[in-house]
Amino acid sequence: MSATVSSSYDTERAQAAVRLIIAPIAIGYTVLLYQQSLIDSGLAWKVFVLEALFCIVSLVLWFDIARRPGKRPLRRLFTMLNDYVCITLVMASGGAAMLPVYAILVWVTVGYGLRYGSGYLLLGTFLATLSLAVTASVSPYWQSQPYLILTLLLTTLMAPTYMHILLKRSRLSAEAEQAANQTKSQFLAQASHDLRQPIHSISLFTACLRDSNLGSEQRRLVENIDKSLHSVARL
């Protein structure tokens, strides 16, 4: 139980740490766009506020994971909603300038599958698709780029699908290896059990021979048999 909690804690803490790294990078990207006059001050402030709120929520999640480690589905669901809502708002409000944020969308989706399994990968894919749909419905830039929307939608579906196939193969391989190890252990246990009775019988027989009047050569042979039996019994 403690190993499971520790593994879950390490996974979620690592994800929270990555989130705290990505948020300042996104803020820096927004500031750079504004300094280069690629976006106006109104858009810069809007995106900056969204990214700052995301950073604050991510910090709160990091402390909560440290204070309450373990598998908590509601916290994971809230984390997913926080990620996808923020990404959607940034892409929808930023237009072409915030199109690179789509890379984070795919990365986040695949990351949930790698960390928590196919169930979270499926949910993440649904939320990512919903994110694209919302962005395309409210962003004038996206509405003017139908082929871009189609390309991003196909990528959003194909990347997680391929990841699901890899996860399934990995799981089946691990299960097959576990079954093989279990079969091997059962075989060795049965073989050990089957050998004990004949070894015990032969040991009694050699003990009787040792108590009889044996010559030196015969006694040496009996002792060699005993040594061999002890070696087999230790297997």
pLDDT-derived band at 5, boundaries 50, 70, 90:
very low
Q: How many CB atoms neighbour CB 60 within 10 A? A: 12
First CA to last CA distance, the chain: 33
Q: Cα–Cα distance between 80 and 83 in angstroms, integer?
A: 5
Q: What's the whole-number mean pLDDT along residues 54-78?
A: 86
> What pLDDT score was predicted for residue 70?
73
17-21, 161-165, 183-187: range with lowest mean pLDDT? 183-187
Which helix (H) or strand (E) segment is 105 a member of?
helix 101-116
Residue 3 has pLDDT above 60, yes or no: no
pLDDT band at 128 (very low <50, low <70, confident <90, very high): very high
Q: What percent of the chain has pLDDT over 70?
A: 76
Q: What is the pLDDT of residues 157-172, one digit of tens each?
A: 998 888 888 877 877 7
203 band by pLDDT with thresholds 50, 70 and 90: low
Q: What is the mean pLDDT of the chain?
A: 81
From residue 125, alpha-carbon distances to 84, 129, 133, 152 in Å are 10, 6, 12, 12
Token pair 């996808």 in the structure block, residue = 84
List pLDDT tens digits, range 206-226: 666 666 666 676 667 667 776
pTM over 0.75: no
CA dihedral 67, 73, 78, 80 (to 10 degrees): 110
Task: Write down the domain spans for the chain.
Answer: 2-144, 192-233
Burial pattern 196-226, b for ≥16 Cβ within 10 A else e, equals: eeeeeeeeeebeeeeeeeeeeeeeeebeebb
**What are the tens digits of pLDDT across the range 82-120?**
999 999 999 998 888 899 999 999 999 998 888 888 889
Per-residue pLDDT band for 39 (boundaries 50, 70, 90) equals confident
